[in-house]
Amino acid sequence: MVNLTAPISPRQVEILRWIADGCPDGVMTGYSYKTTAKALQGRRLVTAGVRAGAWRAKLTDAGRYYLDHGCYPRGLWREPPSRDRRAAGPALTRFTPARPQALDRPSGPPEPSGLAARVQAIDELAANLVARVVAAGGVLEADDSLAGAAGERLVAASRHAPDLPFGKQLRLRSRSVYSPARQVYLDEDFSVRVAEQPVPVPQRVTPLHPAVAAYRNDADRHEVSRDSLTRATRLLHALASEAQRRGHDVTPARHGPIQYNSAFISSLNDGQLAIGIDGFSYAIRIREQQGPGGTPIPYGGDRGRSLPRWRAARTTTFVPTGRLRIIIEHGYSRDTRQAEFRDTKTRPLEDRLPAVLRELEIRAMEDGWRRQEEQRKAEAKRRRWEQAMELARHDFRQAALAAELTSQLERRRLAAEIDQYLAGLRAVLQDAGEQQPAGAPEWTDWIASYRQEIDPLRHPQVVPAVRHPSPEDLRPFLNGWSPYGPDTNR
């Protein structure tokens, strides 16, 4: 049973703050945030659901109180849930004595129902899944309950399971590219190992970080209006300076020669800065959020004259809003991890810069761990290949010796048959006396000489020499491995 009065997890606090900001687009990806919002609704901190065909969430007064004080308002769990979906206002923060109850009714928080009950059921299933994976040693064959989106939701809910080992998270993976079967396994979760650190943003910047100065001088890649350029420059300067102070590398994004608009538009995904951490480079892209009212731009004519290239390449006019966003571009899929940080109604982008650098440092830890895992797997694969090659050489030698033994046995049997044949032939010739055919002695002498040549026992036998095998000689003994290396197919 989930304790509804227990403090919420850091992930739930993050979702609660996002809802307090008005659920800005582009911040959350995937679907797990909806599951978390449902859990928060079961704790009376938010209201969430689909309205007018769109998913919406809103903070209750209890949720606002929790963000301000870090705990539930007093009396929250002594009152039955309001029938009205809107928060009950001051009633949530006012202590209300419990009504007298019958002796046979247990006291305590009311049993959840409806959506809260479904969330509780998901949390219990997730906790059970964590226990099963841990008991299985970290890897469990996925059953039908983990198929499709339901499995993704359950794995996402497991992030808040109380028995999840610290620094770990559950993930799903396919057993192989040829099989639909999947496994759920414990993977590293580096987000718990990296804390946010302040990123000071100066009001005036002189001189600019060299990489940021290169951005400011390249009007073709500003992606912000003229009024927002100074602020965008300060934000990038703050990121670059703090990253460099932490020992990271900061360079301008590299762009090769670009001729066509389509290639230029694609190159914008490379961002304006590259921040390198432990040998990994991450593209940082700052853009201004587009406002409504853009109109189509006709092809040809004066479309691109006197405009920076990032605007000339657009298909609609750019409507500035003054609201900026920072995007971490590229990289492999990272589930529901945040890759975009925006200005919101309650939090400016300046306050999100610590989260941007934290995200980069988490990704660097992930990438470093994955690089080590890839190296470990590559080394293990090479060791298996070398063992297979050594066994193949042994099997090739054994096969060569067996073939030589078979040949000797065949020659020995042939020599015995020749002895028997010679004895009979000589007996016939002796009986014929002077009437034996001309040349018969010469034939018997050749047969005797040939018998001596093929007899393997005419000399003391030693282990035969076996030639050094070629790669193709070893292929039949490698059980599918290539004789040219562990990673080749030829």
Of the chain, the end-to-end C-alpha distance in Å amounts to: 57
CB atoms within 10 A of CB 427: 10
What's the whole-number mean pLDDT along residues 149-178?
A: 82
pLDDT for residue 260: 79
C-alpha to C-alpha distance for 112 and 39, rounded to whole angstroms: 11
Whether the CB-CB separation of 160 and 11 falls below 8 Å is answered with: yes
What's the whole-number mean pLDDT along residues 334-361?
A: 88
CB burial of 212-226 (b: ≥16 within 10 Å; e: otherwise) equals: bbbbbebebbbbbee
Indicate the domain borders of the chain: 10-92+112-193, 210-370
CB burial of 389-410 (b: ≥16 within 10 Å; e: otherwise) equals: beebbeebeeebeeeeeeebee
What digits encode the pLDDT tens for the residues 371-391? 999 999 999 999 999 999 999
What digits encode the pLDDT tens for the residues 272-325? 999 999 999 999 999 999 888 778 877 654 555 678 888 888 878 888 999 999
Whether the CB-CB separation of 483 and 472 falls below 8 Å is answered with: yes
Percent of the chain at pLDDT > 70 equals 85
pLDDT for residue 303: 56
**359 CB contacts (<8 Å, ≥6 apart)?**
328, 337, 338, 339
CB atoms within 10 A of CB 374: 10
pTM of the predicted model as reported, rounded to 2 decimal places = 0.63
pLDDT top residue among 83 and 423: 423
Confidence of residue 244 (pLDDT cuts 50, 70, 90): very high
C-alpha to C-alpha distance for 226 and 219, rounded to whole angstroms: 10
